[in-house]
Amino acid sequence: MLRTVTATRYVTPLREGGSLPGIVEADDDGLYVLKFRGAGQGPKALAAEIVAGELARDLGLPVPELVLIELDPALGAAEPDPEIQELIAASAGINLGVDFLPGSLPYNPTEPPAADLAADVVWLDALITNVDRTPRNPNLLRWHRNLWLIDHGASLYAFHGPDPLTRSRGAFPAIRDHVLLPAASSIAAADERLVGKADPTRAASLVPADWANGEQYGEFLRARLESPRVWAEEAERVRA
């Protein structure tokens, strides 16, 4: 299970992206980037964050800790922006928190990671259908010289439409725009390294039941992991 903490202070909004996440302090004295359940993308984006992030963790990829955050709408009383006040009020209850990495820097493509790490991230993003790891918006951070993966809410986008399970075995053409593809070693070799480690069942089980049907996310990813993995073959073709 994910840890649950309680937000004790709303620190500041992060005016990046459309969901207006904010930094909060919690009762464990930690700072977290709070992803609001009441934001425009809705709880399915938070479900995708959990499934993708925890799956990445199972693969040994660097992802900040994810927690559930209990939010009291009274914390927005001192916020002068009425849009943010409304967002906090609409998100009373359980939301998603991402461990805040103080002093982290945006990814610089002139300093790419090791080729095998780049290939592993490309493989993961092809598996989870992550459209949001492009040069324009890498969703990667450098912290203490290490690469960290963040912001997976745009993954698993099939769940925002009807019958997502019918789309589980398909290719993922958007992988050709992946920011790490030019730095990646063989995706076929990454597939051999990672496919046995991927545990979508565990990751999907962590989704709160009132956000989404976690079992469907697990079923979707288990189907994608079956052979033949056309999405992994496609990623290798466009890399070459």
- Residues 230-239 have pLDDT tens digits of 999 999 999 9
Q: What is the pLDDT of residues 184-199, one digit of tens each?
A: 999 999 999 999 999 9
What gap in Å lies between CA 79 and CA 81, rounded to an integer? Answer: 6
Question: Has residue 82 got a pLDDT over 70?
Answer: yes
Task: Give 40 or 44, the one with higher predicted confidence.
Answer: 44
Beta strands in the chain (DSSP E): 4-13, 22-26, 31-35, 66-71, 93-99, 105-106, 140-143, 146-149
Residue 85, pLDDT > 70, answer yes
Q: Which residues contact 53 (CB under 8 A, 6 or more apart)?
A: 63, 66, 98, 149, 152, 203
Residue-wise over 175-204: b if at least 16 C-beta within 10 A, else e?
beebbbbebbbbbbebbebbbeebbbeebb
The better pLDDT of the pair 155, 40 is held by 155
Distance of CA 185 to the CA centre of its chain: 23
- pLDDT band of residue 79 (cuts 50, 70, 90) is confident
Question: In the chain, what percentage of residues exceed pLDDT 70?
Answer: 98
Radius of gyration of the chain (CA): 18
pLDDT of residue 68: 98
Q: Are 8 and 25 in contact (CB under 8 A)?
A: yes
- Specify the pTM: 0.96
Looking at residue 18, its pLDDT comes to: 61
Per-residue model confidence (pLDDT) at position 50: 98
d(CA 162, CA 179): 29
Residue 123 and residue 232: Cα distance in Å, rounded? Answer: 7
* pLDDT of residue 113 exceeding 70: yes
Cis peptide before 112 (omega within 30 of 0): no
What is the average pLDDT score of the chain? 95
**Predicted confidence (pLDDT) at residue 17 exceeds the cutoff of 70:** no
Q: What is the pLDDT of residues 22-37, one digit of tens each?
A: 999 999 999 999 999 9
Q: At what angle do helices 187-194 and 230-239 cross, to 10 degrees?
A: 150
Residue 16 has pLDDT above 70, yes or no: no
